[in-house]
Structure 1
Amino acid sequence: MFCVTMASLSTSDVQQMFNSLDQNKDGLLSLDELVWLLDKTGVHVSEDELAYLVGKEGLDFDEFSYFYDMILLGNNNVGNEKNDEVKEEEMDKDLFKAFKVFDLNGDGLISPQELQSVLWKLGMWDNLDCDRIMSKYDVNSDGFVDFSEFKSMMLAH
């Protein structure tokens, strides 16, 4: 299961990401553009694998929003037969993988600079205030987001 997880974004933030990724401005994200996004967030998938998952050659904004919710945020309900404990363990593993995407220096903490760097790679830095994001979820006020805080941020809807 993919779980790149980025913080829950507003519709306008997702629209900004879509517009940034839509390099030829045709109103569709090609599989190539989606592969680039996933690669930048640490998920390496071939265009063929993505074509199988997506089922088409490109996504319009509404389809991308759904893709973002289901794939990037890992909000799918695959495996409903599993018990809650197993689901939670899998979710924690996926969240930790996502955490490592943001924890660029591997110290177990996400700094404002690391958050800025990852968001910049995704083409979202221009309109996002990393200090505001950090302060909202940095419950112990140490200037960093640890895994527990990251998990709370990612599960907040």
Structure 2
Amino acid sequence: MSSINSDDLHRIFEKFDRNGDGLVSLDELKCLLEKIGVHPSSLDELESLVGKKSLDIIDFMFFYETIMEKNMETGKEEDINNLDSDLVEAFRVYDLDGDGFISCDELQSVLARLELWDEHCGKDCKSMINFYDANSDGVLDFEEFKNMMQITNP
């Protein structure tokens, strides 16, 4: 998966922090996960994964980096299979009509559902798709999506 720069992480943290208290609670994290189709069985399960009842921005960034390091470990076939499986699930979240492609409208719709959409994203969605669209058909297929997600941003 792609690394997200610190400005992006701050913006994501602010979206997670619905009540503006400077912390992302398990309830806030669970709400967002459910919006993208991930349903932890309980808050206790989520707490065991996160390690705390809430995360400040530093904890949030550390948690993200820890997950990224774990996902980027190489050398184990199981890790590679898990990463591919995660990418397939992520692709399905964005491929709303199930046609095997992610269009600009689908990307915009998912970002809106995650409350990461604003009026400036329309151009960004199209630019992002065009940048990673290797065959220039205006949409991302799974391989193009996979390439996009595995590129590490500086």
Q: Distance in 1 between matches of 2:8 and 2:75?
A: 34
Q: Confirm or deny: 8 A CA contact 1:112 1:144 kept in the other structure.
A: yes
Structure 2 length-normalised TM? 0.85
Cα deviation, residue 137, structure 1 = 0.7
Give the whole-Å Cα distance in 1 for the aligned partners of 2:105 and 2:66. 27
Could you say which residue in structure 1 is the equivalent of 2:132?
137
> How big is the shift at 1:75?
4.1
Superposition deviation, residue 55 in structure 1? 1.5
Q: Of 85, 109, 115, which residue of structure 2 is paired with 1:123?
A: 115
Query: CA 1:97–1:27 in structure 2 vs 1: closer, same or farther (change >3 Å)?
Result: same
Query: Whole-Å Cα distance in 2 between the matches of residues 90 and 25 of structure 1?
Result: 34
Q: Does 1:24 align with 2:19?
A: yes
Aligned-partner residue type, residue 35 of structure 2: K
Residue number among 104, 108, 113 corresponding to 1:112 in the alignment: 104
Count the aligned residue pairs.
Answer: 148
Shift in CA distance, 22/86, structure 1 to aligned 2, threshold 3 Å: closer
- TM-score (normalised: structure 1): 0.83
Q: Which residue of 2 aligns with 1:88?
A: 80
In the alignment, residue 15 of structure 2 is paired with which amino acid?
S
RMSD of Structure 2 on Structure 1 (CA)? 2.2
The amino acid of 1:123's aligned partner reads: E
Q: Which of 90, 97, 100 is the aligned partner of 1:98? A: 90
Question: What stretches of structure 1 of length at least 5 have no aligned partner?
Answer: none
CA contact (8 A) 1:109 1:147 kept: yes
* % identical equivalent positions: 49
